[in-house]
């Protein structure tokens, strides 16, 4: 069994750590969070877009750091802790945003790529929260913003592992929200519907009728609403009309009707 990650640095300047900050919602969350004036730590695999974003933030007087890391690796949480310590920082806020999806039937998609979703969307997010939360609770400040999805509200035939990973993240977030109540530490799960980012093309989602038809929110709007909801202590944040509707309608619909529909609408073409 892998050893749980040691807690991150307890001392130093407070920082906001954003994973998946090289594009999409993560980059926009970093821009929005940077207004708070804390050091920003950008984490993803691709260094050049994060360096460009860090330069943009520094030009606006906001301190930013780039930590290129493959978060699917089990050594990533310790490496990120070491990177924080080397810069004299502690994690005040953790934004668990890095994630990806794959469209296609469970038994037909590449097994390693699907296990990669488990490693990143769920294992890495959990390991980073395990490393960051003890310090936050001791200080009585800060928090964790997990980026889930409306996919976390229902099972997703033809994207089964992704939907399950987001259901896990929602469940984890809600449990931690309850555990942290009254501590001064905020835990939220941001659950957007489809958003215009490279995510959709990377997942091959454009081949599914459901995603071709549904309206797509702008990443900046999702980030603005997500950050505001987090700072207000919201447990679940539904940043667009579609996410609001999904969260309310799905529990009312019989699964026997819903699942064949989702399967058909998410069939790759
Ligand atoms: N777009 C949507 O429709 C939508 C809807 C609901 C929820 N979400 C969620 O929003 C989050 C952000 O997605 P997005 O739409 O902004 O997509 P995106 O633009 O593709 O961003 C994904 C980010 O995750 C990073 N990442 C991927 N694999 C990684 C790894 N192994 N280690 C470290 N970083 C990694 C990517 O950077 P590198 O490739 O440089 O590593 C990138 O910065 C995801 O959790 C996604 O599930 C998206």
Q: Which of 18, 32, 44, 215 to mutate to test the pocket of ligand 1 (most atoms within 8 A of CB)?
A: 44
Domain membership of residue 107 (yes or no) is yes
Cα(138)–Cα(15) distance, rounded to whole angstroms?
16
Q: In whole numbers, what is the pLDDT of the chain averaged over residues?
A: 95
Q: 211 C-alpha to center of ligand 1: Å?
A: 17
**Average pLDDT for 117-136:** 98
Domain membership of residue 242 (yes or no) is yes
Residue nearest atom 5 of ligand 1, based on CA coordinates: 194
Residues labelled as active-site residues: 162
Q: Cβ-count burial of 111 within 10 angstroms (0-12 exposed, 13-18 middle, 19+ buried)?
A: exposed
**Average pLDDT for 245-264:** 95
* Statement: residue 191 has pLDDT above 80: yes
Provide the edge-to-edge strand list for the sheet that holds 64-68.
64-68, 39-44, 13-19, 89-96, 143-147, 186-190, 236-237
Q: Model confidence over 238-254: pLDDT tens digits?
A: 999 999 999 999 999 99
pLDDT of amino acid 198: 95
pLDDT of amino acid 208: 85
Residue 204's pLDDT band, with cuts at 50, 70 and 90, is: confident
Which among 37, 53, 133 has a CA at the least distance from the CA of 92? 133
Q: 74 C-alpha to center of ligand 1: Å?
A: 18
**Average pLDDT for 131-157:** 97
Backbone phi, then psi, for 187, in 5-degree steps?
-130, 125
Q: 27 C-alpha to center of ligand 1: Å?
A: 10
**Average pLDDT for 37-51:** 98
Domain membership of residue 2 (yes or no) is no
| % the chain with pLDDT above 90 | 91
* Statement: residue 2 has pLDDT above 70: no
* Statement: residue 110 has pLDDT above 70: yes
pLDDT of amino acid 65: 98
Domain membership of residue 4 (yes or no) is no
Q: 73 C-alpha to center of ligand 1: Å?
A: 16
Domain membership of residue 235 (yes or no) is yes
pLDDT of amino acid 1: 42
* Statement: residue 193 has pLDDT above 80: yes
Residue 6's pLDDT band, with cuts at 50, 70 and 90, is: low
Count of other CB atoms within 10 angstroms of residue 9: 18
Is the minimum distance from the CB of 147 to ligand 1 under 6 angstroms?
yes
Total count of residues recorded for the chain: 269
Cα(253)–Cα(205) distance, rounded to whole angstroms?
24
Is the minimum distance from the CB of 46 to ligand 1 under 6 angstroms?
yes
Number of structural domains found in the chain:
1
* Statement: residue 3 has pLDDT above 80: no
Residue 5's pLDDT band, with cuts at 50, 70 and 90, is: low
Q: Which of 19, 98, 116 to mutate to test the pocket of ligand 1 (most atoms within 8 A of CB)?
A: 98
Residue 213's pLDDT band, with cuts at 50, 70 and 90, is: confident
Q: 220 C-alpha to center of ligand 1: Å?
A: 14
Phi-psi sector, 143: left (phi>0), alpha (psi -120 to 50), beta: left
* Statement: residue 161 has pLDDT above 90: yes
Q: Which of 21, 25, 118 to mutate to test the pocket of ligand 1 (most atoms within 8 A of CB)?
A: 25
Domain membership of residue 157 (yes or no) is yes
205 or 132, greater pLDDT: 132
Side-chain half-sphere CA neighbours of 167 within 13 A: 10
Is the minimum distance from the CB of 195 to ligand 1 under 6 angstroms?
yes
Domain membership of residue 7 (yes or no) is no
Is the minimum distance from the CB of 192 to ligand 1 under 6 angstroms?
yes
Query: What is the domain-level CATH number for residue 182?
Result: 3.40.50.720
**Average pLDDT for 47-68:** 98
Q: Is 234 helix (H, G, I), strand (E, B) or coil?
A: coil
Q: Which domain holds residue 193?
A: 13-265
């505001």: which residue's tokens? 228
* Statement: residue 155 has pLDDT above 90: yes
| % the chain with pLDDT above 70 | 98
Domain membership of residue 22 (yes or no) is yes
Which among 119, 94, 117 has a CA at the least distance from the CA of 104? 117
- 242 Cα distance to chain centroid: 18
């Amino acid at each position: 069994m892998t050893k749980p990650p040691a807690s991150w640095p307890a001392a130093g300047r407070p920082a906001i750590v954003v994973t998946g900050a090289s594009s999409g919602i993560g980059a926009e969350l970093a821009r929005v969070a940077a207004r708070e004036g804390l050091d920003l730590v950008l984490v993803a695999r691709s260094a050049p877009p994060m360096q460009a974003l860090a330069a943009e933030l520094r030009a606006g007087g906001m301190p930013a750091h780039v930590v290129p890391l493959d978060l699917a690796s089990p050594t990533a949480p310790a490496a990120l802790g070491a990177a924080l310590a080397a810069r004299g920082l502690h994690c005040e806020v953790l934004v668990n945003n890095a994630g990806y999806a794959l469209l296609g039937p469970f038994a037909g998609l590449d097994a390693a790529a699907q296990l990669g979703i488990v490693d990143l969307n769920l294992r890495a997010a959990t390991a980073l929260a395990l490393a960051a939360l003890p310090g936050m609770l001791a200080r009585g400040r800060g928090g964790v913003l997990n980026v889930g999805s409306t996919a976390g509200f229902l099972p997703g035939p033809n994207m089964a592992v992704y939907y399950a990973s987001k259901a896990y993240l929602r469940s984890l977030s809600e449990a931690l929200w309850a555990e942290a109540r009254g501590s001064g530490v905020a835990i939220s799960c941001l659950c957007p519907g489809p958003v215009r980012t490279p995510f959709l093309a990377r997942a091959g989602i454009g081949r599914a009728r459901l995603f071709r038809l549904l309206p797509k929110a702008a990443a900046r709007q999702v980030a603005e609403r997500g950050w505001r909801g987090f700072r207000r202590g919201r447990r679940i944040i539904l940043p667009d009309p579609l996410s609001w509707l999904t969260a309310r309608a799905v529990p009312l619909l019989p699964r026997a009707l819903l699942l064949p529909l989702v399967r058909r609408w998410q069939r790759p073409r």
